[in-house]
Chains A and B, each alone.
Chain A
């Protein structure tokens, strides 16, 4: 077959190149820890060197960039490099099917001295058929393209690594190795939590050698987020920049990174399946390994003239982000990635369940008074509402500020209104509230007897308010006046919107609002605003709920295909087990404070109006393994979901949901049809 020919290494230019540069061959991994190789004058020591480690920039096996993978020890730190071979003159000769790769592409993928402190985990793939490869995930969430070990030796690579860095096999997946070369166990565990302070200064400083690559872009973003960094984080400027580039989790870049992350994994999978197919063909004609041995050459440890630092000195060659380029090069692939489910299954399936921290931005502290003031001009207008919404999306609001801020988030106050306008509105609304309230207050007991609908409604409300959040001090105890306020507001609302009336669940939605507003009229109007968005949840025909459950099922299909398949097979695709989550915005799933935090995040509509649906996906995804392994049927699943109440970590889930939302990208529109609550049925874009 044509394809098989591609693997005849004797006329493989990559192979030839590797021969010319000396070494290549399966014996190479012998050079481990106490390397016989020379110690460079500047203190670098090559502790591992492996040739014919390749990257596939596309899914075609023919498009391969081969290079040398090395581990280099410098002072106390370990770095990994992967340098592609220089193109040989014979490249492409007589290879009609081969696509010529420009030199710059080779440089693009070059991995220049990544400190192992920046590597979060390594996933190895050692299939019985096809080539072994590893995927490295950095602490930033970024992942390098898969590195294919054409001569095998992933095991040896890991063994060598283990001698220098702290490598733990993930309890959850034997093929995932968590990397951490910190010596102090406390720091180790802090670092695994990804707290910036866990970076030991000494270690960082040691990387400020010629080995550290210099990146100068993206500084502006880092500045704006600098407030949230631990100051111990950037010991020296020059290093600090580089470190932030990779580690600084608060930078905007992570959004792109996530896209690329998913892209890479999808890409890896496609490539793998391609390679697998090709290697199967190959297997039939004699086996790849045997051929390899013929061409293996003796070990060579000598690193002539330190190619690493040489490369690094040539600044023109330095390209900041290999993945970025993949995204550009394969614009089409990008689209394809976005339309395929399971996009990021390869990496995330097991890992994300354990360490969702790889994803999303770290959460910020809640917005406080001082910072809030910076969003307002002298007359009280919010100058940049988008920035505000973004800020709140990532951190929420301090409780003391909620009363003020929620009114904006709910749309009761407009962002561009002035203090004076808001004050005026408040007065107007207060009297309007009294007017509506008076409508039902003026119904005499005698009249009520002939007003069944009113009586019924009143009794529904009364039944529910007495059992709403009574364990919260604000509502506890007999004859608590706040319970009476809940009743009055709900009854007034059922007159304000008589057609919608009262429905179970509404008291849950009102309770935190009254708690925050501590004012009957303001709580009422905020509730009205919320109902403008969530009213369809309570429609008699359940349309609002159905459309959201449908959107959820589409999102799961897109974002978590294994779960989707399972649910389809288990006949659970109606997603009714998520009914409560959606109906009352997770009110029953978190403790009071966390519910308020979640709500203000949802109400920003920052990444999506339907962020709550991504929350659903994130939680389901987290428990997918259990759901599938235990083969939960509808009943069991509903029970399981209900019992997750108060066992969901909000911040981690928000991060996951954020990542999922970004991954869904353009496909949101396809999954979530217009008009799905909380979108307003008519013209959208209300918050822009």
Chain B
């Protein structure tokens, strides 16, 4: 169980997006302040926690970093179920990844927590010379769909803390997100549906 201090608001956050867009790098930048050019691919999923003070309260992010490849899509619901927030990442130097991001947003709208705070992150903002997705296009899309939008660079750290801060600000405060106990329950119902081998 997450140890929640009096003012800690636990917030489950999931990162989604095409593989190689920089999801793991964003988490690593946010949680450890590091960046690796050869950040290894994510197999299965990874879990991190990081706290972030916002005004009087402190958000405790419980971050799920997922494997991006379409092949592993069927595992994604397990991770976004019950999430209070999601960051959908695309790579500004790759149009396909933006297309894929929009698909993720749709899926979250359909199957995610209805109050979920969704952020769209245009990552690798440092690669200005190879830019394929214009910020205006993404911004418009985000506005139309009620998403938070930021361009980020895990490499230079541009926009990374801001991204998480914005999300923390938008988390419902009066009605703190479910503690992880509830999330586990949520997940279980999902798993019971998707697999049938829980004999006991």
Contact = CB atoms under 8 A, between A and B. Distances in A.
Binding partners A and B: yes
Contacts of A631: 1
Interface residues of A, number: 40
Interface string B67-99: 111011011001000000000000000001000
B110 interface: no
B13 to A, nearest CB: 12
A569 B185 CA distance: 11
A486 to B, nearest CB: 13
Contacts of B197: 546, 550, 553
Nearest to A503: B71
A470 B20 CA distance: 16
B187 to A, nearest CB: 7
B40 A468 contact: yes
Contact of B46 (A466, A542, A642): A642
Contacts of A466: 38
Interface in A442-467: 456, 460, 463-464, 466-467
Contacts, number: 93
A548 to B, nearest CB: 12
A460 B180 CA distance: 34
Contacts of B191: 571, 574
A456 B97 CA distance: 11
Contact of A635 (B20, B47, B67): B47
Given A466-B38, A503-B69, A576-B78, A588 B43 contact: yes
Nearest to A577: B44
A635 B68 CA distance: 19
Interface stretch (A48-56, A80-88, A490-498, A578-586): A578-586
Contact of A579 (B43, B181, B195, B200): B43
Contacts of B62: 635
B145 interface: no
Most buried by B among A507, A631, A634: A634
B41 interface: yes
B59 to A, nearest CB: 16
Contacts of B1: 631, 633
Interface string A629-664: 001011110110010000000000000000000000
Interface residues of B, number: 38
A573 interface: yes
A579 B38 contact: no
Nearest to A464: B41
Contact of B180 (A507, A583, A635): A635
A466 B40 CA distance: 9
Interface in B28-63: 38-49, 62
Contact of A467 (B38, B46, B75): B38
Contacts of A688: none
B127 interface: no
A508 interface: yes
Contacts of A568: 200
Contacts of A642: 46-47
B71 A634 contact: no
A546 B41 contact: no
Given A463-B19, A467-B39, A571-B184, A638 B47 contact: yes
Nearest to A466: B38
A507 B43 CA distance: 11
Interface in A508-553: 508, 538, 540-542, 546, 550, 553
Interface of A: 456, 460, 463-464, 466-468, 470-471, 503-505, 507-508, 538, 540-542, 546, 550, 553, 568, 570-571, 573-574, 576, 579-580, 583-584, 588, 631, 633-636, 638-639, 642
Which 9 pairs show the lowest CB-CB distances between chains A and B?
Answer: A579-B44, A463-B20, A470-B38, A639-B47, A580-B43, A580-B44, A467-B38, A571-B188, A504-B69
Given A505-B41, A570-B184, A576-B45, 5 more contacts: A464-B41, A467-B38, A574-B195, A635-B180, A638-B45
13 contacts: A463-B20, A464-B19, A464-B20, A468-B41, A471-B38, A504-B67, A541-B74, A542-B72, A570-B184, A579-B43, A579-B44, A635-B2, A638-B45
